[in-house]
Amino acid sequence: MADNTKGSKLFKEFPPIPTEKWEELIIKDLKGADYDKKLIWKTNEGFNVRPYYRAEDLEDIKNAHTLPGDFPYVRGNKLSDNGWLVREDFNACNVEDANTLADHAIGNGVDSVGFITCSDCKFSADGIKTLLTDIDTEKIEINFVSGHNSPVILPLLVEVYKNSKVDTKKATGSFDFSPLAALSLNGKFCDNEKAVRERTGKFVESGRQLPGFRLMAVRGDIFRSAGSSLVHELAFSLAMGAEYMTWLTEQGIPADEAASKLKFTFAVGSSYFLEIAKFRAARMLWAKIVEAYEPKDLDCAKMCIHAVSSTWNKTIYDPYVNMLRTTTEAMAAALGGVHSMTVLPFDATYQPPTVLSARVARNQQLILKEEAYFDKVIDPAAGSYYIESIVKSMAEHAWEQFLKVQEMGGYTEAFKKGYIQTQNKEVAQKRESNIATRRETVLGTNQYPNFNEVADPKVVYRESVEKPGFAKPADAPYEPLVAFRGSQSFEELRYKTDTSGKRPKAFMLTLGKLAFRRARAQFSCNFFATAGFEVIDNIGFNSINEGLKVALGAKADIVVLCSSDEEYETLAPEVNEKLGNRAILVIAGEPACKPDLETKGIKNYISLKSNVLDTLKYYQQLLKI
């Protein structure tokens, strides 16, 4: 029976342990190993993450002790629950089809819809009316992904709402008008800069009849799509937002109105806790920026965030893994306190969404709400020593980058000077290198591939896997940001095998000590399967002759000798001599006897030190693929 003695203290037998004692114990357990190398996580964001944090780490973090809804909103804008809008976007080139799909999605749990228009779309008031047929625009958020078409569509929407007697005070939604995003993606403005600025102000003025609409888009997702870090995404988004504030206030639009018309779109990737921290840091820093414009009411400094699952880490091969990725991403966005969220369908990398993929993407968010109750508790991450400390680091590094952009004259000038592109490229290249060498795992692509998967060229087109070029367009004065996926180099490699008309065989010649041969055979199977090669694994052979007989009988193109380092000294030369030029011999590992083996003509090795991508390209060349 529980002890309810008055005044007793829970866990009184466990006295507090100072950090110094924990550190002493950790160092002892490391047994001489390097503390930093073993336990410190060196992130791509420019700051390190320690193995543990304690209450003392929160002592100098002032905003960790604020309440939800309190300036600077690090703990969110919400006061009653943690609800967010489930959003799904539709191609609106055909308004009837888009309306049918949107109506179906709303009936299945969506409460925010986005209509994507192309540059060739010719809209009329009747077209907008058809697009919104049977949609309760006072309850469902309406978003237009229409870019430079936004100034054309906005007055048509106002007309439709007026004729339909919609209460515009209740109607909510957004447009993604964003000249700075267009500059970033195209390397140029659509008009001269002065005209673009003026057009931005006029657009905001024309939208005053829709007070519940956010009109300007701050597109942080475009940086992540080009491979940036979370810190750069946050810093450059803040710089873009600050520039819009400057443009609008210089044209006489009050700071309160200007801030209330901006909507931030951030990508959310696989760094679960860092993503949660990013959203918290974003709200805090944006509130400070808006405060500098001296609005009448700081309520306008509440950042409106739409989260969309990142495209950078999505794959074409083993695409069902994308569902796992987007689930954790949706969780991070929900815990981060976003306004709305789009989960991209798992097959979005290579085809328009199917009924199945759209339903799964939609239900991922609904499960988080209806079954996991992520919408019930406001800011559940609050008080976490770990997350609050990361928020501090994230905010400091993002602010440092933001100030550098401001010192150059703001976002536009920094982009013209190439600073934003250079910073983005440096991180993207580092991440690509990590993927090529497996320091960063892309499940199903550079590690643990589906051995039997072969791309169907009728479904997956070459353009989907090929990494885009980075050359500056002839008509663009500035280098644009280029969206691509981290897996594309590997996908292009494997697709080349899949469409070559032949599938090379890599045979595991397993000899000697069991533990070594099995471990190295498994490593080698994963290694060659990532290029689409057929791998033939084996438990083990009693002799070289027995193994080679089976290998040659299987018509192996590559024979991978899997054994221990000490056994290679005698096994490898004999295998090389008996195999001759009937197949390519590869040694699994980097044995100490490698220099001696190389003098005997054995030149192919794979190991944890290998650049997997470059090595597999080399074998494709040897096999004339």
DSSP assignments along 342-368, one per residue: EPPPTTTTTSPPPHHHHHHHHHHHHHH
**Structure token digits, residue 613:** 């991508």
Q: How large is the average pLDDT for residues 63-88?
A: 93
> Span 558-575, mean pLDDT?
97
Question: For the segment 325-361, what is each residue's pLDDT rounded down to a tens digit?
Answer: 999 999 999 999 999 999 999 999 999 999 999 999 9
What is the reported pLDDT for 3? 53
Superfamily of domain 500-622: Cobalamin-binding domain (3.40.50.280)
Question: Could you state, in order of their start, the residue ranges of all structural domains in the chain?
Answer: 63-70+80-407, 413-497, 500-622
Q: pLDDT at position 63, please? A: 80
Q: How far is CA 621 from CA 246, 466, 557, 615, 616, in A?
A: 55, 18, 13, 10, 9
Buried-state track 304-325, b at ≥16 Cβ within 10 A, e below 16: bbbbbbbbbbbbbbbbebbbeb
Q: CA–CA separation, 74 vs 321, rounded Å?
A: 32
Residue 424 has pLDDT above 90, yes or no: yes
pLDDT at 2 over 70: no
pLDDT at 573 over 80: yes
Give yes or no for a contact between 587 and 602, defined as CB atoms under 8 angstroms apart: yes
- How far apart are the C-alpha atoms of 463 and 112, rounded to whole Å? 31
Tell me how far apart the terminal alpha carbons of the chain are, to the nearest angstrom.
73
Which of 579, 571, 599 lies closest to 589, judged by CA?
A: 571
Q: What is the largest CA-CA distance in the chain?
A: 88
For 434-475, the pLDDT digits (tens) are 999 999 999 999 999 999 999 999 999 999 999 998 778 888
Residue with tokens 């819809």: 113
Please state, as a whole number, how many other Cβ atoms lie within 10 Å of the Cβ of residue 399.
19
- Residues above pLDDT 70, as percent of the chain: 98
CA atoms of 245 and 233, how far apart (whole Å):
18
At residue 60, the pLDDT reads: 85
CB atoms within 10 A of CB 107: 9
Alpha-carbon distance of 26 to 322, in angstroms, equals 37
CB atoms within 10 A of CB 547: 22
pTM metric for this prediction: 0.94
Condensed to tens digits (0 to 9), the pLDDT of residues 179-222 reads: 999 999 999 998 899 999 999 999 999 999 999 999 999 999 99
**To which CATH superfamily is domain 63-70+80-407 assigned?**
Methylmalonyl-CoA mutase (3.20.20.240)
β-partners of residue 298 are none
Token pair in block for residue 114: 């986005």
